[in-house]
């Protein structure tokens, strides 16, 4: 197993692989790189620009402008996702969309399950009428974007907030380990599971990386696909043609 995994996530992955091995699965799930460290192979720009995303020194860099996303070439159903990220500007905004349709609507972002990535100073920079947004907002919130329905484990309105604030600030690397299985999502932030959401309307769709106004870096972006479930056409995001 690779060195990037924290003990809890390592344990989960090992148990899953052991289970599949014992049941004589035709193919034992393996980690696959979603980012090769050299170029944007495997990703398709949806509505950003040729200059928004680029690779330098093995790091995937997003300039943050224009607002929009790039998507994976294929759709994913059940999987484990590992990603390391860092914001480079105070109050930076970004995220990953799982089970997404990768079709931007009114606000230039798609419908899907968003895994929030905000820099810690976001709340200080978005005080309105003397009120500061809750710190929970920046620490890996999970929510259905674009009207996607889901049931939060730790409700903050329709969103699910992390039970513990574990994100690091500007210039520091954060690690998200995400379990997405049968409409249920569990999120580990820097080595500890602290959030979840369930009954997600779609259980299969595209992965999207978000550009939303500020520079953000990604590395060690990996996925392990798990066996499929019973997913209807209505529970699958539309294919992009």
Is 158 within a domain? yes
Residue range 11-22, pLDDT digits in tens: 565 555 555 555
pLDDT at position 9 is 55
Is 172 within a domain? yes
Is 9 within a domain? no
CA neighbor of 176 nearest in space, from 141, 215, 225:
141
- Residue with structure tokens 């369930």? 198
pLDDT at position 186 is 98
pLDDT at position 10 is 56
d(CA 71, CA 50): 14
Q: Return the CATH number at 71.
A: 2.60.120.560
User: How many residues are recorded in the chain?
Assistant: 241
pLDDT at position 197 is 98
Which pair of tokens denotes residue 198?
């369930």
Is 4 within a domain? no
Residue range 23-46, pLDDT digits in tens: 555 689 999 999 999 999 999 999
Containing 122, the helix (H) or strand (E) segment is helix 122-125
- Residue with structure tokens 């090769």? 36
Number of domains in the chain: 1
139 within 8 A of 161, measured Cβ to Cβ = yes
pLDDT at position 14 is 58
Is 63 within a domain? yes
CB atoms within 10 A of CB 91: 18
d(CA 157, CA 35): 34
Domain membership of residue 208 as a residue range: 33-227
Is 185 within a domain? yes
pLDDT at position 207 is 98
Q: Which residues have CB under 8 Å from 37's CB, separation 6+? A: 55, 58, 219
Which DSSP symbol is given to 194?
A: E
pLDDT at position 2 is 46
Is 80 within a domain? yes
Give per-10-residue mean pLDDT for the chain (241 aa): 52 58 70 98 96 98 97 98 98 97 86 96 88 84 96 96 95 98 98 98 98 97 97 97 82
Is 69 within a domain? yes
Q: Is the peptide bond before 156 cis (omega within 30 degrees of 0)?
A: no
pLDDT at position 19 is 56
Q: Write the DSSP assignment of 51-77 as a string of letters.
A: TTEEEETTEEEE---SSEEEEEEEEE-
Record the pTM: 0.88
């Amino acid at each position: 197993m690779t060195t990037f995994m924290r003990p809890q996530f390592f344990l989960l992955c090992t148990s899953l692989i052991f289970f599949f091995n014992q049941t004589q699965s035709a193919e034992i799930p393996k980690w696959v790189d979603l980012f090769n460290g050299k170029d944007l192979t495997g990703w398709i720009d949806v509505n950003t620009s040729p200059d928004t995303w680029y690779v330098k020194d093995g790091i995937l860099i997003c300039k943050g402008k224009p607002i929009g996303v790039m998507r994976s070439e294929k759709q994913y159903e059940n999987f484990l996702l590992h990603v390391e990220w860092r914001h480079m500007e105070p109050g930076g905004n970004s995220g990953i969309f799982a089970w997404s349709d990768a079709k931007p609507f009114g606000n230039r972002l798609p419908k899907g399950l968003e895994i929030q990535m905000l820099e810690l100073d976001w709340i200080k920079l978005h005080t309105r009428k003397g009120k500061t947004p809750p710190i929970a907002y920046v620490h890996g919130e999970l929510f259905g974007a674009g009207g996607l329905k889901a049931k939060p484990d730790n409700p903050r309105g329709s969103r699910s907030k992390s039970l513990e604030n574990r994100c690091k600030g500007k210039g520091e690397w954060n690690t998200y380990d995400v379990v997405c299985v049968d409409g249920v999502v569990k999120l580990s932030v820097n080595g500890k599971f602290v959030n979840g959401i369930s009954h997600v309307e779609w259980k299969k769709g595209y992965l999207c990386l978000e550009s939303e106004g500020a520079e953000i870096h990604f590395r060690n972006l990996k996925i392990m696909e798990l066996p499929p479930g019973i997913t209807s056409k209505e529970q699958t995001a539309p294919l992009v043609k």
